[in-house]
Structure 1
Amino acid sequence: MMTRVADGVRRITAPNGGPMTYTGTQSYLIGDGGDLVLIDPGPELAEHRAAIEGALATGEQIAAILVTHAHLDHSPLARSLSADLGVPVHAYGPAGAGRSDQMQALADSGAHLGGGEGVDTAFAPDVMLADGELFTMGGTRLRVLHTPGHMSDHLCFALEGSDLLFSGDHVMGWATTLVSPPDGDLTAFMASLQKVQGQGFARFLPGHGAPVEDPDTLVARQIAHRRGREVQILDALQARPRRIDQIVPEIYADVNPALHPAAARNVLAHLLDLVARGLVTTNEPLRADGVFERA
């Protein structure tokens, strides 16, 4: 179903709702008449493609495809649309692009970190976008913001001449963002939260869920939430060394156990950040099922 969420912005929600995608992935068409920009084509589902194409008015066509990040619920449809329409795909890079030195070293080391959930390993953009770049297509101008954290290649797009930010999976109102190493990086994520705060945005249009109407307040709350989780993890390790599967049930006692595997990935992200800061140590080699303790 197509919904107009702002002047010149149409939202189409994919039929892929679930515990990690909420009501489904949201694709956005930007522009009115002529050449339009599509942000996040979404999953490779015929029904969703038909909905996107059905949202186009007579005389309108998709002239460029932008992707916030290479996850299977955001990027796969870009391939067939690009091939069939003959339009380029723009993104920061393939999955893994933009990793911090720490995360790249961990990935290269073969450390048993797990991860890789939902990564679109086949994704490769035609055009790579840089942080701060101004993307222009017809009357649409989008400022590119590299916001690594949820994934190292994650981008947000600020619609010039408005107070809107297309926030992808970086900031969403319905849930906190999954950060799953080595593609996810909590150190980078916290910096990226601060990057989009206090920039004059009045609304975030996220990859899942309703528009965020008071984004600075939500971002501040999410920063505080992550810092609170850090304190909980350090407190859990104060008594004795523990594995992640011993920490999660304690600090996520109020969360549906079906979501504990995702919570474990977030705890690992926190622990890697704490190890890098010298606050926590672990047995070598570093691994997701290892024992962690206070330094």
Structure 2
Amino acid sequence: MSLSSESRPRPSWQVREPPPPTGRPLPAAAHLPGLRRVVAPNPGPMTGHGTNSWLVDHPGGTAVIDPGSDHPAHLEALLAAAGGRITHILLTHTHHDHLTGARPLGRMAGAPVCGFRHSAVPAFTPDIALDDGSVVAGLTALHTPGHATDHLCFLTAERIVFTGDHIMGWSTTMVPPAPDGSVRQFLDGLARINALAPTLLLPAHGPPIPNPESCIHALAAHRQSREDRILAALRQGPATLEEMMRRVYRAIPSTLRRAAELNLLAHLEKLRDDGCAIHDRDGWRANAPHEERPSP
């Protein structure tokens, strides 16, 4: 789930593509025949062209990451693309654009649904509970909270990372405030994935990211730039969240306004935790002069 908050020139790190076809497998790369995606028919301002349902072949069959949609044609396309050999259904997290098709596909394929052991959705419990470091279908689960408390990335032996919504090439990620998200945890997750020296990033929305390091550094720099802008706004004097929205965002589509408010609040919480901002009855205000800090 993304947050494209303002109209601006396309950043150099972004990777975009024309609307991809739905209902048929698309290769991750020509040299990776065992990895392909079927794009779910759920486009929108927060999902881009739709959720990527990744199919990953392994010796026992095929794992599906993020079924995304319960649309019958999409589920049938996943079964067909896997040749009827789906062994596991993996969730990067339980936001609706990832979770909705999981149980229906699991029933159709007779496959267990795997997700983080502490689900962010009380009504959902995975059939196979994963922890940080769990290995399933040849993939290693990496707990990367920030966008969601139960967010997982999945690492292959070739250092390819399925990044869910944590890292996307077409847009920045929406990070909600506590208890659902955390900017600090999001940044820590970026640093952790970068330290793995990944060879390719395969996100849940948008095309593959062939230059992981430059994309990750750009996303961290974007967060630092946003933080600097918020700090500058705080120095103008105490402000409510609504006033901070006017100070920080020049213009924002109505469809993205709520997401932008949550993202702003998450940044304000980080600044408060860092000792740079205070929240009291007058609203938000700067606590102390901000010193430049390197991006994670």
Question: TM-score normalised to the size of structure 1?
Answer: 0.83
Indicate whether 1:159 and 2:156 are aligned: yes
In the alignment, the residues of structure 1 paired with residue 107 and residue 255 of structure 2 have an alpha-carbon distance, to the nearest angstrom, of 38
In the alignment, the residues of structure 1 paired with residue 213 and residue 274 of structure 2 have an alpha-carbon distance, to the nearest angstrom, of 27
Indicate whether 1:253 and 2:250 are aligned: yes
Indicate whether 1:229 and 2:229 are aligned: no
Matching residue of 2:169: 173
In the alignment, the residues of structure 2 paired with residue 143 and residue 34 of structure 1 have an alpha-carbon distance, to the nearest angstrom, of 16
Which residue of 207, 216, 219 corresponds with 1:219?
A: 216
Q: Do the aligned residues in 2 keep the contact of 1:70 with 1:94 (CA within 8 Å)?
A: no
Displacement of 1:17? 0.4
Matching residue of 1:115: none
Matching residue of 2:64: 38
Matching residue of 2:199: 202
Indicate whether 1:14 and 2:2 are aligned: no
Report the identity percentage: 38
Secondary structure of the structure 2 residue equivalent to 1:132: coil
Matching residue of 1:26: 52
Report runs of 4+ in structure 1 exceeding 6 Å deviation: none
Question: TM-score normalised to the size of structure 2?
Answer: 0.82
Secondary structure of the structure 2 residue equivalent to 1:29: strand
Whichever residue aligns with residue 116 of structure 2, its letter is Y
Secondary structure of the structure 1 residue equivalent to 2:46: coil
Q: Please list every run of 5 or more consecutive structure 2 residues that lacks an aligned counterpart in the other structure.
A: 1-23, 288-296
Whichever residue aligns with residue 207 of structure 1, its letter is A
Change (3 A) 1:175 1:16: same
How many residues of Structure 1 are paired with residues of Structure 2 in the alignment?
260
Whichever residue aligns with residue 52 of structure 2, its letter is Q
Displacement of 1:252? 2.4
Indicate whether 1:238 and 2:235 are aligned: yes
Where relative contact order (Cα < 8 A, 6+ residues apart) is larger, the structure is 2
Q: Do the aligned residues in 2 keep the contact of 1:249 with 1:260 (CA within 8 Å)?
A: no
Q: Please list every run of 5 or more consecutive structure 1 residues that lacks an aligned counterpart in the other structure.
A: 97-119, 285-289
Matching residue of 2:12: none
Secondary structure of the structure 1 residue equivalent to 2:194: coil
In the alignment, the residues of structure 2 paired with residue 43 and residue 122 of structure 1 have an alpha-carbon distance, to the nearest angstrom, of 18
Q: Do the aligned residues in 2 keep the contact of 1:94 with 1:123 (CA within 8 Å)?
A: no
Secondary structure of the structure 1 residue equivalent to 2:97: coil
Which residue of 64, 79, 102 corresponds with 1:78?
A: 102
Matching residue of 2:14: none
